[in-house]
Structure 1
Amino acid sequence: MEWAEPNFVIEVRRAYMPNDPYFPLQWHLNNTGQTGGLPDADIDAAEAWDVTSGSPRVTIAILDDGLDLDHPDLRDNIFTNPGEIAGNGHDDDGNGFVDDVHGWDFYADDNNPQPDSAMDYHATPCAGMAAAVMDNTAGVASVAPGCKILPCRIMGEGDPTVYQLSQAIHYAGAMADVLSMSWTAPADSTIAASLQHAATSGRSGLGCLLCAATGNQSSSDAIGFPASLDNVMGIGASTFRDVRSAYSNYAPGYGVFLLAPSSEPGLTNGVYTLRPGGGYQWFTGTSACPPQVAGVCGLILSIAPSFSRLQVETILRDTADKIDPAGAAYDATGYSNAYGYGRLNADRAVILTAPDLAAIAFDFQPKAVAADGTLSFSGSVRNLGSGASAPCWLEFWLSRSPSYATLDILLNASVFLPALAPGAEFRLEPIAANLSFAVPDGLYRLGIVIDRQNEQIETDESNNTVYQEDSLLQVGAGSTNVDLTVEGFDFWPAWTAAAEPIALAGRIVNFGGQMSCEVWVEFWVSTDPAGGSLDHLLCDSAKIGPLGPAEAFDLSTLHRIVFGPAQGLANGRYRLGVVIDRQGAQVETNKNNNTLYRLDKWLIVGGATAAGAWHFYP
């Protein structure tokens, strides 16, 4: 049975920040007013990328005309069927399509969904909106540059049949996670049934996300099919001024689900994306909108792959920006006939989805243990985020690094951390580690590491590794010598007038196994940018110690250095550093860590204020 020609809902005009040169044109991703629009009238994609730019495990199907698989800003993100062996003429994965390595052409019934005529101009810009390659120093960015694109060609120069489109929807529902449909067509029960199947049975029963354009006919009483279906998100267009685009269809009741940025006739050319043949173009109308929502669905599923279709839709609904409240007239549920639930916001969506696992109040006992002794832990792992976490590994590591820069010995106390709801915590007290394996005698930092395998996307990964800063673990007899180390040396403020004091920060730690003698701590300046020379000793040296094993001396307890002409320095710029035991009074296992310069700050003597004043510039 034949059906009428699909009605494309846009006119294509031929017309964090990523390093893609055309990204500044992409106001829909990050609007600073660069094209004359309202700053922040965008989907906050750049902020969302701080959490995730998408996972290659998530696939977005583009059901459209021929797609340029060889576009340099797209080819690395084209889906490859892992169950198919290219070119062997067999249906290796048994899905009914021979050699469907990179999708399928349902219009021509072959495995080449590429453009084959001038009419194949629409799929490539749609795919570029959703998942063009980012940070490749070429072209544009996209909403979900880490996700994959599944090409499903459903039309060309002629009209597809209902069977062809229904077959494409079933295929995409089996192979992809999200379906993007930037077209409208006459309503059809067979197509509706295929979409229902994808929405309920896709993703192993979790349901595929379905995004479709509402249409460009400036209608206030109807939206296009299939956007009008209950299980399909109808996506309309907003402008760079954060109002609904006048051409964007809407209807009474719950027709429009969300708006996403696109063109505003007479004011903006639209949004910038790909063009077949390796080029770039402005893209207009509501066809630019479903791929953006599909991309945000991809970001959400990259964080939470077990979320159902309804869970993802709820997140999109609850995080949309309520733009133009006077014009939209949102009701008590937050819905507007013309605006849906508002304009898409990628950042809020991923923040609401993502967990934040953090180690809280981590400690261990005892601080000294025999080589075959047992350690017990205290503290907790808490989910500080808005989204539930997935199960992941929790590990305890010993480090020989004073700053826990290396993970050297994994203790036999790893546990599989269960899923944690927002605000929930997992107590560490029942966990213990027996040092029955060979841990060499010595002093160590002991820390906790959450999800070292990085399987869980979080809003903040920096709090996944926490070590006990106030104490070291001594295993066995410890080492036989002293090792004095400078840690975290710093000074401030960044500017000071003559004779004003400078505060110090950092500490001297004994990482050896014996008590140290008293040693001098000196402060030197160097004219070498790399701090390779001791050029001038400041008259603020101090004798410290003795320091026992794992004992630290806090440099902030010293009197503040007073800078000025009395130090006898010529005007100029210098590095400031701390030097331990330059006299060599203490035998150590390692002397290389006794000198530490701040190499990211210059000390400026003389200059803008009173003669002889010292100024610090980062």
Structure 2
Amino acid sequence: MQSPIIGTKRRSSMKKIALCWVGAIIGIATAVVAWSELMSGDRLVYAKQKQRAGGMTTLSGDVRRPAHYVPGEVLVKFRDEASSSRITSLNVDMGAKELSALSMNAAGVHQYKLDGALSVEEAVLKYRGNPAVEYAEPNYLYSLQAIPTDAQFGTLWGLHNTGQAVNGTAGRADADIDAPEAWDISTGSSNVTIAVIDSGIAYDHPDLAPNIWRNPGEIAGDGVDNDNNGLVDDVHGWDFLMNDNDPMDPVDLNPGGNGGHGTHVAGTIAGAGNNGTGITGVMWTARLMALKAGGVDRSLSTTGIISAIDYAIKKGARVINASFIGPECSLVFYDAVRAANDAGVLFVAAAGNGGDDGIGDDNDSTPNFPSNFSAPSVCAGQQTAALANVIAVAATDQNDQLTTFTNFGATTVQVAAPGIGINSTRPTYRTERVPTGQPRSPANRA
């Protein structure tokens, strides 16, 4: 398959780019884009936007890909000149009650729970029509892009491909990221912190524990918010799904779920190198910040994601890894990634793995987010500029070709990296690899 990505992904210059920065995030899973049944709870419930007016989806405008969002919740940003009394009056009319579990108010965004008198679509449209409102949207859900694993450096073809057979399939020599050559220059630095927004990280895994970030302002287990950030004992990060201080990645008990997703991604990024056990990450000593925003159901809400981004920025992460996608361009999400850009934080995002047919889509014509924030977009009717800190990554196979399932885009995808049959860590303290036939963990993650 000919690469439609800008330039030629086989160029050495492209490989150097992937090595320097994207290589650090190379483990962001870009797997099947399939919405699994979500946990039946108030925070995560499967919901499809109702189609109206001749089958047109009212908010997304795309009947082919109905939006998914948290039922009964809306996100609203008011204009600076809007008075508190006007905001209160409007919310009363909407039957909206503010939720205070998330720290987004610095960006002027408010999360509301509706009383049921209005549907999410009706409330969003009414908010948008009020002159006091800058924008309003549902609390969209985004889907994790699955992953694989195994051990032994000899099987890590994405790092060093000698043409060895993986899953019974031989590759093409040097169809890799030239990791050994890069390690001759540097094996990474403990001064670089990479925030992994995902299903959590098994931070006690032998191949990950040496590289897990530790909050320098927090004393573990004392029950005190030592760094005064509103979060008690956030030693290794935070669980924005359950709103607690344990971002541990669950063992996947659901065959269709994604428990272990974040752990696999983390191992590919920074599994401890040269320690005589398990696998080796691209960066041997980088620090991994565990920011849990999703679980075994594959779903992450906008509010969870942007809270994690805010945390990563404030705690000094240099890179944010995002291995999830969704069809909706969220202005709230865009503002959060723009804040990361303003703070000098690199945001590496999976290009995605196509639709239910398992065939990759052209992101130029079928946008997916957050990867499409790397190009100009239209969010909720507003034009947004490309964000320079966003790198969208597609997946390649052992023969240096784009995988059949990976998304691509001449103007929306910047680089490609190994993304199938990738070995990495799992919460059960073993390593695994997803079978070649399953488009799981593309090394093409950000």
User: What residue in structure 2 maps to residue 246 of structure 1?
Assistant: 404
In 1, Cα distance between the equivalents of 2:158 and 2:148? 17
CA deviation digits over 1:314-336, x for unaligned, max 9? Answer: xxxxxxxxxxxxxxxxxxxxxxx
Give the alignment partner of residue 188 of structure 1, picking from 327, 330, 337.
330
In 2, Cα distance between the equivalents of 1:226 and 1:160? 12
Greater shift after overlay, 181-190 or 99-108?
A: 181-190
Indicate conservation of the 8 Å contact 1:211/1:290, yes or no: no
| SS at structure 2 position matched to 1:212 | strand
CA deviation digits over 1:526-584, x for unaligned, max 9? Answer: xxxxxxxxxxxxxxxxxxxxxxxxxxxxxxxxxxxxxxxxxxxxxxxxxxxxxxxxxxx
User: What residue in structure 2 maps to residue 256 of structure 1?
Assistant: 413
Give the alignment partner of residue 175 of structure 2, picking from 38, 41, 56.
41
| SS at structure 1 position matched to 2:373 | coil
**Are residues 1:225 and 2:346 paired?**
no
Give the alignment partner of residue 66 of structure 1, picking from 200, 203, 207.
200
| SS at structure 1 position matched to 2:395 | strand
In 1, Cα distance between the equivalents of 2:312 and 2:442? 20
In percent, how many aligned pairs have the same letter? 34
Name the amino acid aligned to 1:216: N
CA deviation digits over 1:187-218, x for unaligned, max 9? Answer: 211111111101112xxxxx111101011111
User: What residue in structure 2 maps to residue 120 of structure 1?
Assistant: 259
User: What residue in structure 1 maps to residue 430 of structure 2?
Assistant: 279
Indicate conservation of the 8 Å contact 1:222/1:250, yes or no: no
User: What residue in structure 1 maps to residue 318 of structure 2?
Assistant: 177
Shift of 1:107: 0.5
Give the alignment partner of residue 234 of structure 1, picking from 392, 398, 423.
392
In 1, Cα distance between the equivalents of 2:415 and 2:440? 11
User: What residue in structure 2 maps to residue 336 of structure 1?
Assistant: none
| SS at structure 1 position matched to 2:342 | helix
Q: How does 1:361-380 map to 2 (within 5 A)?
A: none
In 1, Cα distance between the equivalents of 2:371 and 2:301? 19
Q: How does 1:217-366 map to 2 (within 5 A)?
A: 217=354, 218-220=360-362, 221-230=365-374, 231=387, 232-251=390-409, 253-263=410-420, 270-283=421-434, 285=439, 287-289=441-443, 293=446
In 1, Cα distance between the equivalents of 2:212 and 2:249? 15
Q: Do the aligned partners of residues 39 and 223 (structure 1) sit closer, same or farther apart at CA in structure 2, a change above 3 Å counting?
A: farther
User: What residue in structure 2 maps to residue 168 of structure 1?
Assistant: 308
Name the amino acid aligned to 1:7: S
In 2, Cα distance between the equivalents of 1:157 and 1:30? 31
CA deviation digits over 1:467-508, x for unaligned, max 9? Answer: xxxxxxxxxxxxxxxxxxxxxxxxxxxxxxxxxxxxxxxxxx
| SS at structure 1 position matched to 2:411 | coil
Q: Do the aligned partners of residues 44 and 243 (structure 1) sit closer, same or farther apart at CA in structure 2, a change above 3 Å counting?
A: same
Indicate conservation of the 8 Å contact 1:180/1:211, yes or no: yes
Larger gyration radius, structure 1 or structure 2: 1
Number of residue pairs aligned between Structure 1 and Structure 2 = 274
Give the alignment partner of residue 23 of structure 1, picking from 126, 138, 153.
153
**Higher relative strand content:** 1
Q: 5+ residue gaps in structure 2?
A: 1-72, 74-137, 253-257, 355-359, 375-386
In 2, Cα distance between the equivalents of 1:71 and 1:224? 32
Name the amino acid aligned to 2:361: S
TM-score normalised according to structure 1 size: 0.42
In 2, Cα distance between the equivalents of 1:116 and 1:139? 20
**Are residues 1:132 and 2:271 paired?**
yes
Q: Do the aligned partners of residues 223 and 127 (structure 1) sit closer, same or farther apart at CA in structure 2, a change above 3 Å counting?
A: farther
TM-score normalised according to structure 2 size: 0.58
User: What residue in structure 1 maps to residue 232 of structure 2?
Assistant: 98
Shift of 1:290: 5.0
Name the amino acid aligned to 1:281: E
In 1, Cα distance between the equivalents of 2:152 and 2:346? 29
Greater shift after overlay, 73-82 or 183-192?
A: 183-192
Q: Do the aligned partners of residues 116 and 13 (structure 1) sit closer, same or farther apart at CA in structure 2, a change above 3 Å counting?
A: closer
User: What residue in structure 1 maps to residue 110 of structure 2?
Assistant: none
Shift of 1:93: 1.7
**Are residues 1:211 and 2:348 paired?**
yes
Shift of 1:286: 7.2
| SS at structure 2 position matched to 1:229 | helix
Structure with higher RCO (Cα < 8 A, 6+ apart): 2
Q: Do the aligned partners of residues 13 and 48 (structure 1) sit closer, same or farther apart at CA in structure 2, a change above 3 Å counting?
A: closer
Greater shift after overlay, 233-242 or 281-290?
A: 281-290
| SS at structure 2 position matched to 1:197 | helix
Q: Do the aligned partners of residues 236 and 14 (structure 1) sit closer, same or farther apart at CA in structure 2, a change above 3 Å counting?
A: closer
In 2, Cα distance between the equivalents of 1:213 and 1:84? 32
In 2, Cα distance between the equivalents of 1:156 and 1:66? 8
In 2, Cα distance between the equivalents of 1:161 and 1:183? 11
